[in-house]
C-alpha cells in the first residue's frame, strides 16, 4: 500500500507544481500582451485625435476609426479568452495525465 501512496503523493506534487507554473505563465503572458495592446490602442487613439484636430480627418472618418479600435479591442479580448481556455485545458490534462476521469 505504501507504494501506491508514494505514487499518489508524487503525482499530486508534480501536478500541483505543473498547475502553478502554467497559471503563472498564463497570468504573465496575458498581462504582457494586454499592456502592449493597450499601449498601442492608446497611441492610435491619440494619433486619430491629433488628425481630427488638425482637420486631416472628418468627423465621420474619426468615428469609423474609433469604432475600428473598439472592434480590435473585442478581438483581442476573444483571443486572450481562447488562449486562457487552451491553457486551462492543458492544466487539466496535466493534472489528470491518465485521461479523462470516468
Q: Average pLDDT of 58-87? A: 88
Q: Tens digit of pLDDT for each residue in 47-58?
A: 999 999 999 999
Residue 101 has pLDDT above 60, yes or no: no
- Number of neighbours of residue 48 by Cβ within 10 angstroms: 20
The angle that helices 59-95 and 2-53 make with each other, rounded to 10 degrees, is 170
- Its pTM stands at 0.60
Instruction: Give the start-to-end residue ranges of the domains of the chain.
Output: 31-92
pLDDT at position 51 is 95
Cell 486562457 maps to which residue?
A: 84
The dihedral built from the CA positions of residue 27, 28, 29 and 30, taken in this order, carries a sign that is positive
Q: Average pLDDT of 64-70? A: 93
pLDDT at position 59 is 92
Distance between CA 74 and CA 64 in Å, rounded? 15
Amino acid at each position: 500500500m505504501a507504494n501506491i501512496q508514494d505514487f499518489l503523493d508524487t503525482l499530486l506534487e508534480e501536478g500541483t507544481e505543473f498547475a502553478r507554473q502554467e497559471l503563472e505563465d498564463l497570468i504573465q503572458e496575458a498581462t504582457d500582451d494586454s499592456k502592449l495592446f493597450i499601449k498601442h490602442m492608446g497611441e492610435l487613439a491619440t494619433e486619430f485625435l491629433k488628425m481630427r484636430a488638425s482637420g486631416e480627418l472628418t468627423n465621420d472618418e474619426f468615428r469609423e476609426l474609433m469604432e475600428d479600435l473598439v472592434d480590435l479591442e473585442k478581438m483581442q479580448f476573444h483571443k486572450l479568452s481562447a488562449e486562457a481556455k487552451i491553457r486551462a485545458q492543458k492544466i487539466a490534462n496535466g493534472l489528470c495525465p491518465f485521461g479523462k476521469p470516468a
